Structure 1
Amino acid sequence: MSIQPLLEYIRKHIDLSSQEESILASKVVLRKYLKGQYIVQQGDVCQYECFVLSGCTKTFYVDEEGQEHIVMFSIEDWWTSDMGSFITQTPADFNIQCLENTELVLFPYNEIESLYKEIPKLERFFRQIIERAFVTSQKRLVRSFSLSAKEQYLHFREQYPQIEQRIPQYMVASYLGITKEFLSKIKNQLIYKH
C-alpha cells in the first residue's frame, strides 16, 4: 500500500514539494478494512477524513424504525467521512461501511491543524474538496425534489457508471429513496424502450 494515488490526486489541485509530500506521508495513516467493516458508526465521533485508495464504501444512517438510508458511495480517488462529526468532534449521524475490501489513507483529526500549519496550501486544497462536496450535496437535494425517480436513476447511472456494477440493486434503490421493486420497474421500462 502506498499513498502515491493520493499524491497524484493532490497534484491535480496543488503543487507539493518533495519535503511537503514527506511531511504529509508522516502524518497520515494507511489502513486496510475488510468487506463489512465499519470506518465510523452512528453515535461515535469521526476521527478521520478518508481518501479511498481501493475498494468501495457506503455512507448511510439508520432511522428509528431500523430503515437504512444511503446518502453516498465512495470508490477509488474519492473521499469519505462524516464531515459534520469530523469537523465538530461530536457524535456521527452516519455510518460508513466497506462494501468491498478497502484500503484508505486516513487523515487523523489531531493531525489536520498541524498539517495546515506545516503545509498551508493543504488548507486551500481541503477547502476546495469540502466546497465541491457541499455543492454536490445541494445539487442532489434539488434533484430529489425536482426529478422523477426514473430521471434520478438515469442521472445516477450517468454520474457514477463505475459504481452500479459494484453494489447490490437494493442499495441503489436506497440511495435513490425508492423501493428495489420500483427500481426494477424503472430498469425494465428502460430496457423495453430501446
Structure 2
Amino acid sequence: MHDLILKNIAKHIVLDEAEEACFLACLKERQVLKKEFILKEGQICREINFVVSGTLRAFYLDKTGKESTIMFALADWWVTDMFCFVNEQAAMLNIEATADSCILQLQKEDLDRLYIQVPKFERFFRIIMQNAYIREQLRVIQGLSLSAEERYHNFLIKYPKVAQQVKQKQIASYLGITPEFLSTIRGNKTKKKKKS
C-alpha cells in the first residue's frame, strides 16, 4: 500500500529512508465503503487524502439540493476541500466514496510538522497545489469556451478511467449539464460512430 504513495511522491521529490519513515508515520489508513462520506459540508476539514484504491467524488450541494461535482479522485490521486484544509475551516464540499475505497489520510497538524522535519514536502505539496490550480483554471476556461459535447469529449480523453467508474449523472454534474442532456450527447456520439 505504501509503495503507491511513495511512487507518487517520487515524481517530485527524492526521500531518504529516514524521511520516508517520518512521512509514513504520519499516515492513517482508512477503509471507506461505497456511499460513505469522508467529509461533509460544515465539518472542519483536517485531512488531505491519498486514494490507494477505489474512487471518491468531491461535490458541492446548493440550497435547492442540486449537486455540482468539483472533482473525482481515483487511485494515485489526492483529494480534499483544499481551501478549508489549508485554513482549517468548515468544509464547503462533501467527499463521498463512489466505490469501496482505501485511502491514506494526512492530518493538517502532521503536514505542518512534516514541513519543518522534512522541508522537501513543501516543494511536493506546492507542486500538487499548482497542478490542482492549473486543472481548475483550465476547467473554468473550457466551461466558458467549449460546447457541452466538446467538454464531454475532452473529459473522456483526459479521464477515461473516471468515465468507466462513476455514474453518468455524476459526470453530468461535473460538466455542468443535466443527465438527460448527457444522454443525448452520448446518443449522438454513438450514431456518429455507427455512420463512420
Q: Same fold (TM over 0.5)?
A: yes
Query: 5 Å matches for 1:134-173?
Result: 134-173=133-172
Aligned counterpart, 1:176: 175
SS, match of residue 103 in structure 1: strand
TM-score by length of 2: 0.97
Aligned residue for 1:24?
23
User: Among the aligned pairs, what percent are the same residue?
Assistant: 37
Match of 1:119 in 2: 118
Whole-Å separation in 1 of the counterparts to 2:8 and 2:22: 17
Question: Is residue 4 of structure 2 the alignment partner of residue 13 of structure 1?
Answer: no
- Tell me the amino acid that sits aligned with residue 48 of structure 2: E
Number of the residue aligned with 2:96: 97
Instruction: Look up the SS of the partner of 1:23 in the other structure.
Output: helix
- Tell me which stretches of 4 or more aligned residues in structure 1 moved more than 3 Å: none
Which residue is equivalent to 2:129?
Answer: 130
Give the Å deviation of 1:165. 1.2
Cα offset, 1:170, TM superposition = 0.9
Structure 1 residue 3 displacement after superposition = 1.7
Which sections of structure 1, spanning at least 5 residues, go unmatched?
A: none
- SS at structure 2 position matched to 1:165: helix
Q: Give the Cα–Cα distance (whole angstroms) in 2 for the partners of residues 109 and 10 of structure 1.
A: 17
1:13 shift after superposition: 1.1
Shift of 1:145: 0.5
Q: Deviations over 1:118-154 (max 9, x none)?
A: 1100110000000110010010000000000000000
Unaligned runs of 5+ in 2: none
Q: Distance in 1 between matches of 2:134 and 2:101?
A: 26
- What SS is found at the alignment partner of 2:43? coil
Paired residues, what number? Answer: 193
CA distance in structure 1 between the partners assigned to 2:68 and 2:11 by the alignment? 33
Over the residues paired in the alignment, what is the CA RMSD in angstroms? Answer: 0.8
